Every structure is written in C-alpha cells, then in structure tokens.
Structure 1
Amino acid sequence: MLDLSTTRAKLGFVACALVIGFFLFFPVYWMVISSLKADAELYRIRPTFWPHDVTLKHFATALFEGDLLRQLGNSLLVSTSSAALNATLAVYAGYSFAKYRYIGRRPVMLFMLSAQMFPFGLLLITIYPALVNWGLLDTRLGLMISYIVFALPVATYMLYSYFSQVPNELIEAARADGAGDLRILHTIVLPISIPPIVTVFLYSFMWSWNDLLYSLTLIISEDKRTIGPGLLLTYLNETSADWGGAMAASLMAALPVTVAFIALQRFFIQGATAGAVK
C-alpha cells in the first residue's frame, strides 16, 4: 500500500533540492554561457539561454592580452603562503590550548576568537597603519599577514577541537618513553591529524583567494595585484564593462580552487567532522 505521507515527504525534499540547486548552479551556468557568447549576442536586450555562436575569443583575450596569468601567480603565491603559515601557527596554538594547562589559557583563546566579531573593514582601519609603520604596505608579505588576522582564530579553534579528542594516554606513553613535547607533536600527533590540518589549509586558502577588500586596499602596484582586484579593475569601470572577458577570466580564476578542493575533499570532509563524535 502506498504511504502518502512518505511520498509527499520525498516530493517535498526533491522540490526543495531542485530550488536550492537552481539558486546555487544557475549563476555558474550563466557565467559559463556568457563567456562563450560573442559580444553581439551577449549585449542583446533579450538574453539567450544558450550561445548561438560559440566563441573562445574572451578566453584568448584574457590569457594573452591581459595580466591574468601574472595576477593568478600572485594570488597563488600569496594564498598558498598565507594558508601554509596560518596552518602552521594554528597547529601549535591549537595543541597548546588543548593539551597544556596554564594561567590565562582560556582568556587568550577567547581573545583570539573575538577577532571574528568585528567587520572586515573595521579591522582594516587598524591593519593599514600598522603595515605602513612596518614598511609592509604594497607588499605580498603585508597582505599575507592581513589574511592571517582573520583565518588564524577559526583555524586555531578547529584544531583545538580536534586535538582535544586525541587520547592523553597516547601522549603520556610517548612521554614515558622519553619523547619530548615537540617530538610528540611532530611524530605522533601530526601524522594522525592530517585531515583537520588540510581543512584549515583549504579554509585559509579559499578565504585569501576570494578576498577583494584587503587586496584592493593594501596592494597598489600592478605587478603585485592579485586576482580579485585584477578582475575588477581590468574588466569593470565607470564607463564600460567587458562582461564576456570578465566571465571567462572568472572561470579560469576559479579553476585552481576547484581543483584543489576536488583533490583534497576527502581530507576536508574528515577534518570538518573531526571531533563531532568520540
């Protein structure tokens, strides 16, 4: 006998999934077809939902006539370096909060997390003069430091949650065998902590790769410009907009993050759920 309540529930679930999928994937679909349209078709009053004359002109223009490759290189360098440094600092900070007991441990951790309470623009007001005083304005190192300000608190708390689940008996056994604290961390704890560390790395990498506000404000030189402000200043201005070129360049800019996530998604899912259950 057909269960109407179960059937309705399944239909409702499918309908909700279709609606959510439409809002998630239709912008990506529109970006793809816009990058393949000729200018005459792209600027029609009545839009077409499939390119009548497919062209790769926008991709060729973005690759060979602009600074896209240099901007991608700058973003890759800054994002990878800041993500690696952020993951390294988060490992030591998270392990310290999870496995050591000292005065001020919890207030320090809460103080770090409180940085997430402030808007990005508000902290930029304090980061900007600090970088000017340190001589790091318009440098890749200064941009990396600004990214760590936001990524480190969340990364530290994620690793703290994971390290708290590591059995203390494992650490005590290694300490009884004469291993020091750093050796315990490096040879015992880190090898079993790859998934959350990869998760932290990907989180920081994607945050810095997609940033616009900080890179647009802290980087002035064209040769150091990253992909966010590069796309904005190259294809969009007050008088005109090259939407075809912008869509093609955006697709190529999204490729590194997409490839990295696909390659490391297994570790990302394991790390994101680490500590959820004992």
Structure 2
Amino acid sequence: MMLDLSTPQAKLGFVIFAGLIGFFLFFPVYWLLISSVKPNAELYLTRPTLFPESFTLDHFRRALFEGGLLLQLGNTLFVSLCSAVLNATLACYAGYSFAKYRYFGRKPIMLLMLSAQMFPFGLLLITLYPSFTTWGLLDTRGGLIISYVVFALPVATYMIYSYFSQIPNELIEAARADGAGDLRIFHTIVLPISIAPVVTVVLYSFMWSWNDLLYSLTLIVSEDKRTVGPGLLLTYLNDSKADWGGAMAGSLLASLPVIVGFILLQRFFIQGVTAGAVK
C-alpha cells in the first residue's frame, strides 16, 4: 500500500520521521568534527558544548606528526589496495566460471563458498590464526591481505556472478565462432563491459579492509606494520590514557581517503549494485 502524503499531517509526520533518521545518522559525524577541534579542557567539561567555544588544530598536528598516523595510513592503503585488487581478480574469474560454464559440482561449490558468510568474523579468525602461525604468515602484511580476501571473496563472487549471468551467451558464441579463445573472450569482451560491477567489488573490498579492526588487531603485532584501526585504538585509547581529541582527529583523517574514493566512484558503485537487480 502506497503512503499517502497529500494531507498536511502526513507530510509533517514524514518530515519528523526523516529528521529523526537524519539526526541519528549524522549527529555522530557532527560530534566527531567538533570534538576534533575542541581543546582538551573543553572536551572534558561536565556539560558538553554543542558548539566549540574555542578552536584548535593541535589534535590534527599530533595525529599527523606524533601519533604515527601517516605510517599507519600507508600500511592500511597498501593492505587495502592489495586485498581489493586480489579479491576483484579472483571474484571475476570465479563469477565468470559459475555464470557461463556448466560442469559437475558448479552449484554446490558456489553454495559452499557463499555459506562462509553465515559464520561470524571471530569464528573465521579462530581458524585462520593457527593456520597463519603454522605457515609463517602471522604478523605479516601478506597474511592480513589473505584474511581480508577470505572474508570478502564470497560476496564479491556472487555480485560478479549476478552481472555475468545477464551477458548474452550469443555474444560469447559469436566470439568463439570468430576463433577467439576463452581467455581472450573474457579479457577483451566480457571485462570491458563489466567496469561497473568490478569497481563495485573493488570498493566493497577496499572499504571493508580499511575499516577493519578485529583482524588487523589480532594478526598484526609489530608497530611498523600496524594499520589505522588498531593504531588509533592503541595510541589514543588504552589502559593509561584516553585522548579523545586525538582519537577524533585521527579518525577524521583516516576516513577522508574512503570518502573521497567513494565520491569519485559512486556512479560505478550504484550501477554495480543495481546491475543484478533487474533482468
């Protein structure tokens, strides 16, 4: 049943409801912004202020030059880019195989891969930790990259599979009739028309890796390999201190790369998400 917004009462109710949702979503962001520019004396007042009474950039200076944030951002960028590219590459090949080839065990294998999403993050980590210890991948960037691929690959594969299933088989058969091999068809015909879902998978994998805390906190113990999530937690919020101003400034700086990347690529992201919705 469609919602009737023709009456003033319905419009007012809709505006109030939308305002509450907007407040719930954006007030934490606003509080992050104002807390990052408040001095420590104002941050710890008994009655918090909704607008900064004084303004400072000292938290940003300390986050950039004293808290090791630049090193942590570099580690996070490297790990996130590698895991996103590797995840997208594997998802493209697996999704194309499930969508365009018919072989024994195709559906059970795909369902088995998707079933990995039913397990909590921690349970997968429990199985990865002893394996990485045995293989010598603990406290390495390679091990962290593999852990991200393990979690993100099932969803990425299904997203790519949904798009590849819509590509007409006649297009592939025509290329085969012209003498093109399977790899050439995939690389020169299928991939060029699949930019949107591939970008979507890359963004999904990148954002998941960038925002991770549990895996990076458990699998990485060296300070020179530490990523942003554990870095902010252990630097500003630990047993000995709680520097909320520095944590807010560091969190804001750490969010900027993902925000900028999403703004630049949101058109492809939306196209990729909706590509498999309607056939």
TM normalised by structure 2 equals: 0.97
Provide the C-alpha distance between the structure 1 equivalents of 2:29 and 2:200, rounded to a whole number of angstroms: 24
Provide the C-alpha distance between the structure 2 equivalents of 1:12 and 1:211, rounded to a whole number of angstroms: 38
Q: Which runs of 5+ in 2 are unaligned?
A: none
Give yes or no for the alignment of 1:228 onto 2:196: no
Residue 202 of structure 1: aligned partner: 203
Residue 125 of structure 2: aligned partner: 124
Provide the C-alpha distance between the structure 2 equivalents of 1:104 and 1:191, rounded to a whole number of angstroms: 29
Flag the 1:178–1:24 CA change in 2: closer, same or farther, 3 A: same
Q: Percent same amino acid among aligned pairs? A: 79
1:8-157 correspondence runs (5 A): 8-157=9-158
Structure 2 residue matching 1:266: 3-state secondary structure? helix
Q: What is the Cα deviation at residue 10 of structure 1?
A: 2.9
Residue 261 of structure 1: aligned partner: 262
Structure 1 residue matching 2:275: 3-state secondary structure? coil
Q: CA RMSD, aligned part only?
A: 1.1
Provide the C-alpha distance between the structure 1 equivalents of 2:239 and 2:46, rounded to a whole number of angstroms: 21
The letter for the 2-side match of 1:172 is E
Structure 1 residue matching 2:138: 3-state secondary structure? coil
Q: What is the Cα deviation at residue 6 of structure 1?
A: 4.0
Q: What is the Cα deviation at residue 9 of structure 1?
A: 3.4
Residue 187 of structure 1: aligned partner: 188
Count matched residues: 276
Provide the C-alpha distance between the structure 1 equivalents of 2:104 and 2:52, rounded to a whole number of angstroms: 65
Q: What is the Cα deviation at residue 15 of structure 1?
A: 1.9
Provide the C-alpha distance between the structure 2 equivalents of 1:24 and 1:72, rounded to a whole number of angstroms: 26
Instruction: Note if contact 2:207-2:258 (Cα within 8 Å) is conserved in structure 1.
Output: yes
The letter for the 1-side match of 2:96 is Y
The letter for the 1-side match of 2:261 is A
The letter for the 2-side match of 1:71 is Q
The letter for the 1-side match of 2:152 is A
Give yes or no for the alignment of 1:216 onto 2:221: no
1:231-242 correspondence runs (5 A): 231-242=232-243
Structure 2 residue matching 1:273: 3-state secondary structure? helix
Quick check: 9-18 or 100-109, which moved more?
A: 9-18
Residue 168 of structure 2: aligned partner: 167
The letter for the 2-side match of 1:254 is S
Provide the C-alpha distance between the structure 2 equivalents of 1:15 and 1:175, rounded to a whole number of angstroms: 59
Q: Which runs of 5+ in 1 are unaligned?
A: none
**CA displacement, residues 92-112 of structure 1 (integer Å, 9 cap, x when unaligned):** 000000000000000000000
TM normalised by structure 1 equals: 0.97
Residue 275 of structure 1: aligned partner: 276
Provide the C-alpha distance between the structure 2 equivalents of 1:12 and 1:93, rounded to a whole number of angstroms: 48
Q: What is the Cα deviation at residue 87 of structure 1?
A: 0.2
